[in-house]
Amino acid sequence: MKQQNVTLSDQCSDIGWSLTEVLAQKHDKRLWSLDGGPAGLPEEVVGQMLVGSGGSVSYCEGGSALLLMKAAALETLSAMNTFGDRIDAVTRYLEAQMTILADHTAEIIETVRCISPDALARNVNELATNSTLGSFFPRVKEEFMLQLFEHLGRDKLADILLAFSAAPYDYRAGWPDLIVIKDGTMKLIEVKTNDKLLDSQLRFARGIGTPMGFDCGVVRLKLAKV
């Protein structure tokens, strides 16, 4: 099948993601709404729908997971920081640190496997209250990161970081728009309108999503007939 003829449905079938269509109203090039509700970006509209059904939602294309991994690894990232600077370890992108410290990947992963809940909570708070990170990740919330850690646990989080460390600059992008935790389960959701999955999203699916056993899916907003 020629690449230009591949549909979103084909892509989802290939990577094992669900595809759900939701009827919505379109207001302009970017804004949509559901059932006469407030207009917003597609991921905001879908996220609010999921919150309304009882889910906890993070709208940050994997930002919550990336910062949570950094928080769990922070003691070793700080101890091995090139500048001997903990603040630099807090603010520097995780993909850069995992690349610079590639020879110490095993130690960093072990730090995640061994971190205590109290230490993790302190580190999460340190990241969540850092103004520089707040400007980079304005939608990442401390409460959600702690909820995500409670759901994943140390070993699963360490396994994700290990997979991420195989190609940090490749896996920094491509995470689905939404992380949803509901009734003890987690789902990663990419929100689409007319476009297909990007190469970075397909790479995430094959390198992290599927190997980690994540429940991933696409919600496509479809224009409701008036």
Condensed to tens digits (0 to 9), the pLDDT of residues 143-158 reads 999 999 999 999 999 9
Return d(Cα 113, Cα 99) in angstroms, integer: 20
Condensed to tens digits (0 to 9), the pLDDT of residues 102-113 reads 999 999 999 999
Condensed to tens digits (0 to 9), the pLDDT of residues 123-138 reads 999 999 999 999 999 9
CATH entry 3.30.1240 includes domain 3-61+175-223: no
pLDDT at position 1 is 47
Return d(Cα 138, Cα 63) in angstroms, integer: 10
CA 102, chain centre distance (Å): 22
The better pLDDT of the pair 52, 114 is held by 114
Q: How many CB atoms lie within 10 A of CB 126?
A: 16
Stretch 177-184: mean pLDDT? 96
CA 152, chain centre distance (Å): 13
Return d(Cα 203, Cα 201) in angstroms, integer: 5
Q: Which residue has the tokens 């999955």?
A: 197
Structure token digits, residue 142: 């401390």
Stretch 13-21: mean pLDDT? 97
Query: What value does the mean pLDDT of the chain take?
Result: 96
Q: Does the structure show a pLDDT above 80 at 18?
A: yes
Paired with 223 in beta bridges are 24
Q: Which residue has the tokens 């690349």?
A: 99
pLDDT at position 156 is 98
| Residue boundaries of the structural domains of the chain | 3-61+175-223, 63-171
